[in-house]
Amino acid sequence: MTDPLLSLALILAKLIAVFGVILTLAAYLVLAERKLLARMQLRYGPNRVGPFGMMQPLADVIKLLTKEDFVPATADKWLFLIAPGLSAVTALLTFAVVPFGPPLEIFGKTLPLVVIDLNVGVLYFLGLSSLAVYGMALGGWASNSKYSLLGSIRGLSQLISYELSMGLAIVPVVMMARSFSLTEIVMAQEKIPYLLLNPLAFPIFLISVLAESKRIPFDLPEAENELVGGFHTEYSGMRFGLFFVGEYINLIILGSMVTVFFLGGWHGPWLPGVVWFALKVLAICAFFIWVRGSMPRLRYDQLMHFGWKVLLPLSLLNVLVTGAVLLGMS
Amino acid sequence: MQAILFYLTAVVAILSAFFVMKCRNPINSALNLVTTFLCLAVFYVMLESPFMAAVQIMVYAGAIMVLIIFVIMLLNLGLTVKTRYTHGLAAGGILSVMVLFVANYFTRAGEATGTGGSVTSELIASYGHTELIGRAMFVDFLLPFEIASILLLVAIVGAVVLSKRKV
């Protein structure tokens, strides 16, 4: 077998593995969220399908696939059909640059455990996360319903506002690691994770990530009690399912970004790197679920004020301070 | 292989640029413009400038076009606006063909091919594309860079002053 073919096969194998793991994980994250939320509200949660309700995701998928795929008469048909795919695909693509383990040594070759290690990985992540807006915005607009449009306009302005502070919170990390590549950022945290080295950037990033994932307390785009379902009000069947799965894939992606940038990625004692990475990502996801179970929703003006008047100045200040400290140390 | 990829992307870029003008609905025009920007990002990747590609997607497709779509959604222009202005199509076509000829002339004359510059593929491979751009912006062209940032700051302040209501 020639070398280019081998590397192509490796990339394909990694792609398929990552794809499978992410989709399965997203499906079971839905179950985990329902279970955890139920326990927090003194209920049992889904427990009928299979042992402990473990087959519930499968049943959900079958239900969604067999439901009618309804398109409203006044909707912009093509955009309406494309939008859910957009939101799921942009979420999936982001995982291409996430390093989920230390490089493996197999047959005398080093196999990096990342689909592709771009040297502009951070920018790739930011670019895709800003493209992720389109799925929601177009879905809401194409539905041609007032609730959907309101949801997507809210979502647009919210995501644009919080993207700024999210990007600026990563700038100190890039400055300290001196690289845009996610693998090198993880390598640079071998001794101390950036959570301890830069304690201000971590909460800023975490809050912005929470806002990016459109979950409580930042779920204004789909606020159920004001907007029915927000941008996905008019969707049914598997297209709604795509929005739904996209949201959970997004959750995993953002959790792994928090892990990569601040929690030291795959580094950790005793256990193998991949296990540490998975544990940290799942811990962040569990934190998000916990937040959802215990926080009320923000009001819209509070959301905007917090983003522009608190988070953005803080993150700018953090960039300045980090730069000054780095300059002083060198 | 790269030539095939280039021509495929170029066809998509030109087609979507054409549909930017041709579409009746402003949202569809904006989306076609996004497609054109994505194609440009692919071109940047082929020119060994991944940083430019990422910034192209982040700034143009991710920020500016999102804002434009936001405004279109808020205004809810509908189909009436664009049907009123169809004569622009011919003018735009003539103009772009003229620009094409000029660009072709300069490329043929060897003044804009970029082969004569100091940045070569070997330099990018050894030094890193992002590092080269950073050095150019913050060392070689620091003054123009700062002037541009002050210009942007003035624009932001101007926008705030113009939109501020009397309290």
Residues of chain B in contact with residue A153, where contact means CB-CB under 8 angstroms, are 70, 73-74
Q: Which residue has the tokens 């941008």?
A: A231
Higher pLDDT, B154 or A127: B154
Helices (H), B23-141: 26-46, 50-55, 65-75, 80-84, 88-109, 121-127, 129-135
Q: Chain B: nearest CA to A230, how far in angstroms?
A: 15
> Cβ–Cβ contacts within 10 Å for residue A260, how many?
29
The mean pLDDT value for A141-146 works out to 80
Q: Please provide the DSSP assignment of A234-295 as one string.
A: T--HHHHHHHHHHHHHHHHHHHHHHHHHHS-TT--SSS-HHHHHHHHHHHHHHHHHHHHHH-
Q: Does the beta-carbon distance from B34 to A156 stay under 8 Å?
A: no
Read off the amino acid at residue A42.
Answer: L
Residue A259's nearest CA partner among A292, A223, A287, A294 is A287
d(CA B68, CA B92): 21
pLDDT beyond 70 at B85: no
SS3 label, residue A200 = coil
- What local confidence, expressed as pLDDT, does residue B77 receive? 63
In A, minimum Cα distance to B50 occurs at A120
Q: What are the residue boundaries of the structural domains of chain A, listed by start?
A: 69-329
Average pLDDT of chain A to the nearest whole number = 83
Which positions ≥6 away from A239 have C-beta within 8 Å?
A: A69, A81, A84
pTM of the model: 0.82
Is the Cβ pair B128, A134 closer than 8 Å?
no
Do residue A76 and residue B25 have CB atoms under 8 angstroms apart? Answer: yes
Distance from CA of A34 to the nearest CA of B (A): 33
How far is the alpha carbon of A199 from chain B, nearest alpha carbon, in Å? 27
Closest-CA distance of chain A to residue B108, Å = 34
Read off the pLDDT of each residue in B87-94 and give the average, rounded to a whole number.
77
Tens of pLDDT along A6-26?
778 878 888 888 888 888 888
Identify the top-confidence range among A153-162, A220-229, A317-326: A317-326
Q: Which of A127, A138, A152 sits opposite B54 (nearest CB)?
A: A127
Report chain A residues whose CB lies below 8 A from the CB of B51.
120, 123
pLDDT-wise least confident of A183-192, A216-225, A259-268:
A216-225
Average pLDDT estimate for A187-204: 82
Question: Residue A299 and residue A15: Cα distance in Å, rounded?
Answer: 41
CA atoms of A154 and A39, how far apart (whole Å): 31
Instruction: Please determine, for residue A107, whether its predicted confidence score (pLDDT) is greater than 60.
Output: yes
pLDDT digits (tens, 9 = 90+) for A268-286: 788 777 888 888 888 988 8
- In the predicted model, is pLDDT for residue A192 greater than 50? yes
Q: How many CA atoms lie within 13 A of A307 on its CB side?
A: 24
Instruction: Choose the closest CB to A119 out of B27, B50, B74.
Output: B50
Q: Are A88 and A245 in contact (CB under 8 A)?
A: yes
> Taking residues A116-121, what's their average pLDDT?
78
Whether cis (ω within 30° of 0) applies to the bond prior to A217 is yes
Reported confidence tier of residue B117, pLDDT bands at 50, 70, 90 = low
Cβ within 8 Å, pair A126-B67: no
- Residue of chain A whose alpha carbon sits nearest to that of B35: A131
pLDDT at A2 over 70: no
pLDDT greater than 60 at residue A3: yes
> Over 50: is that where the pLDDT of A36 sits?
yes
- Name which of A79, A123, A149 is nearest B58 (Cβ-Cβ): A123
User: What pLDDT sits at residue A8?
Assistant: 81
Where does residue B23 fall: left (phi above 0), alpha (psi -120 to 50 degrees), or beta otherwise? beta
Pairing relationship of beta strands A109-113 and A101-106 according to DSSP bridges: antiparallel
CA dist list (Å): A318 to A170, A201, A307: 10, 7, 15
User: Do A170 and A261 contact (CB within 8 A), yes or no?
Assistant: yes
Q: State the ipTM, two decimals.
A: 0.77
Give the mean pLDDT of A167-184.
Answer: 85
Closest residue in A to B61 (Cα–Cα): A131
- From chain B, pick out residues whose CB is under 8 angstroms from the CB of A160: 63, 66-67, 70
C-alpha angle with apex B61: A88 to A247, nearest 5 degrees?
20
- How far is A63 from chain B, CA to nearest CA, in Å? 33
> Where is A109: in which H helix or E strand?
strand A109-113
The CA distance from A141 to the nearest CA of chain B, in Å, is 7
Asked if B130's CB is within 8 angstroms of A138's CB, the reply is: no
The share of chain A scoring above pLDDT 70, in percent, equals: 97
- Residue B114 pLDDT grade (very low, low, confident, very high; cuts 50, 70, 90): low
On the question of pLDDT at A1 being above 50, the answer is no
Q: What is the pLDDT of residue B154?
A: 94
What is the per-residue pLDDT across B91-111, written as a single tens digit (0 to 9) for each? 878 888 899 888 877 777 665
For residue B15, the SS3 value is helix
Q: Across the interface, do B58 and A133 touch by the CB < 8 Å criterion?
A: no
Residues A233-274 pLDDT 10s: 778 778 888 888 888 888 888 888 888 888 887 877 887 778
What count of residues does chain B have?
A: 167
